[in-house]
């Protein structure tokens, strides 16, 4: 099996495993849990800021979060690929310089 197939299988296992280990569990975000803890510790607490825009539903909020993650990942991996390409290009130029161009004078 190729390395990529093994990595994809591993990702699949990591995605499915929590649902098998804790069936019926609610997998919510950290924001909701933080609100619950603050409400327990300080029931009189009032937020000092309000959101500029409230998404119409939790599905839209999840979509925007996933879109943000996708754009951030695309930028990060593009940059990493770009840097790796630069390094490979520099190595090739250095190797050619050490070996000579191979062209007759």
Query: Hey, is 52 helix, strand or coil?
Result: coil
Tokens of 102: 């191979």
Can you give the pLDDT at residue 81?
Answer: 95
Q: Which residues neighbour 45 within 8 Å (Cβ) at sequence distance 6 or greater? A: 38, 39
DSSP E strands, 6-62: none
Chain centre distance of CA 11? 13
DSSP E strands, 42-94: none
Query: 35-77, pLDDT tens digit by residue?
Result: 889 999 999 998 888 889 989 988 888 899 999 999 999 999 9
Query: 2-28, pLDDT tens digit by residue?
Result: 888 999 999 999 989 988 888 887 777
Query: Residue 102: is its pLDDT beyond 70?
Result: no
Can you give the pLDDT at residue 33?
Answer: 85
């Amino acid at each position: 099996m190729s390395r990529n197939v093994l990595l994809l299988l591993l990702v699949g296992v990591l995605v499915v495993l929590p649902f098998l280990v804790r069936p019926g569990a609610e997998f919510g975000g950290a924001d909701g849990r933080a609100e619950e803890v603050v409400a327990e510790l300080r029931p009189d607490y009032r937020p000092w800021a309000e959101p500029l825009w409230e998404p119409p539903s939790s599905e839209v909020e999840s979509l925007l979060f996933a879109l943000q993650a996708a754009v951030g990942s695309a930028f990060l991996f593009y940059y990493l690929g770009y840097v790796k390409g630069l390094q490979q290009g520099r190595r090739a130029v250095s190797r050619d310089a050490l070996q000579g161009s191979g062209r007759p004078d």
